[in-house]
Structures are given as C-alpha cells and as structure tokens.
Structure 1
C-alpha cells in the first residue's frame, strides 16, 4: 500500500459520489505536489495523491533513477502494477468514489508510471494526463493495447523545460496517436514544473470527459 492523502469534496451530501483523480508526483516530490494544481476541482472530484516508495533524502520517487541511460523498465512495470492494485483497493474502500470515472494525472516520474500502467492495463482507467514526461524507448516495443483506441490522453509540457525537453512530449504525443484517436497536446510557458495554466486546461479537459461519459449513459 502506498502512503497517500485523499481529498473528498467538502459539503457533500450523504450517498453522493464523485469522479476520482489519482495524482502521482515526480522525482524528488511527495504526495503534496500535484494536488496543488487540482485545488479548484476538489469541489466535484475525489483526489487521491500517492507518495512514491523510493526515498531520496526528505523526498521521494516512484522508481530508482539511472546514473546513465534509461531507468529499469521492469521496475517501472512493477510499480505500475502496484499502483493499479492500489487504485482497486481505494476505489472499494471509499463510497464517495465513482469507480466508472477513474482518472490518472502523473508528473515526471509519476507520468512515466502512469503511461506504463495505461499501455498495459489502460482499459480499466477512464483517461490519463501525462505532465512533463520523458518518453522511454521500451514503451514502443510493448504489445499494442487495443482497449486504448478511444482512450483520452492529455499531454502537457513546458516550453522552457531543460530537464526534459519538449521534444520528448511531442514524440510521446505522436506515439499515443498511433494507439488512440483521443490525444491532446498542451504546451505551457514554464520550465520543469506545474503551473496554474495547466490546472485550467486540465479542469476543462476533465470536466468535458466526465460530461460526455454522463451523456452516453
């Protein structure tokens, strides 16, 4: 089980349920990082923020960084399986959660774990946002998941990011478009961090998805 914080809408009525967002932080962060850009959505979404299990001083990561080259794909896959099980457990534990509307938002390392989870098990998730993510070469060699054909993806990246150049996000977007017909790319005038502008775009994206899913019922 991951250490986590959960934010349930204040003033909710008895028996009321809400879509859920699982937030995964980046290298050197913790469970407090991503919820900061989701605050304006907390009146109508349950937000669950995970903490990675790898300790880096006072902060955390989801997997070990490589001294050179790419991180270990097997370790990333193991973490994505753990996150998937965690989601299943939390969705059962809290009766405020609409399990049919389960979304992932990952930043940096959290985005890489999110992508691995989506590529392997994405049929169980309603949509995913990948923020400031690297594009690891092993992902291109994974079996094609046909359940991702119409799955919504949001790719967000800073134009001034020198940690992970925006070209990686562009490459990630091109790759995702070979799997899904529902991929959006958003760039922001920022470095390797999260800004309010992303919050606004994510809010629009999520609200539109939830509304469209309600209308289809």
Structure 2
C-alpha cells in the first residue's frame, strides 16, 4: 500500500471519514487518520474523544476493533504512525529494540512530539472537547501514548495501555513530578512474548509512583486482547469519559 492509497476499514465500521495525505486535516494535525464523529457533535456541543494508536506494522485501520467499546456519543480518531516499514508494510512510531526494551531516544522524542501535535490539533479540526480526550494505544502505540501521558498529562483525561509498556524517557522528555489521580488502564497477556508481562508490571509501578489511579489486569493470552480485557477496557472508558450527554 502506498502512502496515497486509502486503506479500507472493517465493514462493521460505518461513517468514518479518511483524512488522507492531501487533506487540510492531515496538514494541520501532522498525521493521516480516520475519524468518526457522533451525529450530535457541533461546535456548540463538543463531544469526548478517544484516540486509538496502533502498534508496529499497523495503520489507521488496525485499532477499530476497539471502537465498539467506546461510549456512544464519543468521537473516535485513529492516526497512522509517521514512519513507514518499506519491507513489511504498515507503519511504526519510533525505533525500538524489543529484547532490550529500549527506544532510540531521538526517534521516541519525535514520536511523542508528533502525537502531541496531533492531539492538540483535534479540537481545532473537529467538535471535540479537549477536556475529555482519552488515549488508547496497543503495543508501540501504547508506548508512545504512555510517554505522552507521563510528559503532557494535561492533554488528556486518561490513557489505556494495551499489550504495551512505558519506555525509558530521554532527557529531552522529562516526566512530570506528579500524576495524582490520573486514570491509567493497563491490560497485558501473561503469555506475551513480544512485550513481556514484567514490562507491564514495571509500567504499573511507574505510574503508581507518580500517584496515578491505575487499573491493572493480566489475562491468559499472548500479544493481543481477549474478551475479558475488552470488557474491562469498556468499563474503564465508561467511567473515565463519563456521561456523554452534556452541553
């Protein structure tokens, strides 16, 4: 697939619009993406937003399996990571050494900056409430979402890390001193060989030391989510986003 080609969403996903490489939305936000807005969303009635960030070798279609877990009346946006995998297909956020669980500092800093710009642009482009933005990431998408949460938590109401981890932050990305009460959801497979469970436990502890309100779950699966994890995520999202019927 070339950068200019529009990838197709699952047939179960309806009413999502693609912001391709030539769109104003991509120019402003910095990333190609799919977006789905509730019918009642207007500039005078802004709605919550869930940002779905895919993992290594995914694209802006990969995370829509989680769309059904998002509370009704919530906007959903799924960006395409900025870096292309020429030999594998798909896209990725930053250079990462899996077995050492380390991120290349410069590429991680660039990825966090890119995601920050994207999140900040959403209320400019769409009728979404900047006070009710929740990030949901899978694998490497969780890593960059976690990094943004640890450095710029004011941009979101909470973060969900699925089969992901918190990677060491370079000096250019110092974490905040406190995440007191900040909602964090972590779901991880006990049989995950790509991102080992110990990485999720360390992530839980890192967030907890900063004072975050961490909801943590391990499940008898590999590098994926099962129905139990999906139910737990759905419950957490409903709590964090809250009532979507508001002015």
Give the CA deviation at 1:211: 2.6
> Normalising by the residue count of structure 2, what TM-score does the alignment of the two structures yield?
0.77
Q: Any idea what the Cα deviations from partners look like across 1:53-88, whole Å, max 9, x if unmatched?
A: 211232111112348742212211221111111111
Q: 1:187 to 1:212 in 2, by over 3 A?
A: farther
Q: 1:154 to 1:110 in 2, by over 3 A?
A: same
Report if aligned partners of 1:23, 1:105 keep a CA contact under 8 Å in 2.
yes
SS at match of 1:190: coil
SS at match of 2:152: helix
Which residue number in structure 2 is paired with residue 197 of structure 1? 228
Question: Which residue of the other structure, out of 71, 76, 92, is the alignment partner of 1:47?
Answer: 76
Q: Distance in 1 between matches of 2:225 and 2:196?
A: 15
Which residue number in structure 2 is paired with residue 12 of structure 1? 40
Which residue number in structure 1 is paired with residue 142 of structure 2? 111
Question: Which residue of the other structure, out of 232, 237, 240, is the alignment partner of 1:206?
Answer: 237
Q: Distance in 2 between matches of 1:67 and 1:209?
A: 31
Give the CA deviation at 1:143: 4.2
Which residue number in structure 2 is paired with residue 88 of structure 1? 120
> Normalising by the residue count of structure 1, what TM-score does the alignment of the two structures yield?
0.87
Q: Is 1:30 the counterpart of 2:62 in the alignment?
A: no
Question: Which residue of the other structure, out of 52, 56, 64, is the alignment partner of 2:95?
Answer: 64
Question: Which residue of the other structure, out of 73, 77, 102, is the alignment partner of 2:133?
Answer: 102
Give the CA deviation at 1:142: 6.3
Which residue number in structure 1 is paired with residue 207 of structure 2? 176
Q: Distance in 1 between matches of 2:41 and 2:145?
A: 31
Q: Distance in 1 between matches of 2:154 and 2:129?
A: 16
CA RMSD in angstroms, aligned pairs only: 2.7
Q: Distance in 2 between matches of 1:31 and 1:194?
A: 18
Q: Distance in 2 between matches of 1:62 and 1:105?
A: 15
Q: Distance in 1 between matches of 2:206 and 2:134?
A: 20
Report if aligned partners of 1:77, 1:117 keep a CA contact under 8 Å in 2.
no
Query: Which sections of structure 2, spanning at least 5 residues, go unmatched?
Result: 1-29
Which residue number in structure 1 is paired with residue 8 of structure 2? none
SS at match of 2:134: strand
Point out the more displaced range, 67-76 or 86-95. 67-76
SS at match of 2:216: strand
Query: Which sections of structure 1, spanning at least 5 residues, go unmatched?
Result: none
Equivalent residues, number: 213
Q: Distance in 2 between matches of 1:76 and 1:132?
A: 18
Q: Distance in 1 between matches of 2:225 and 2:99?
A: 26
Q: Distance in 1 between matches of 2:35 and 2:177?
A: 32
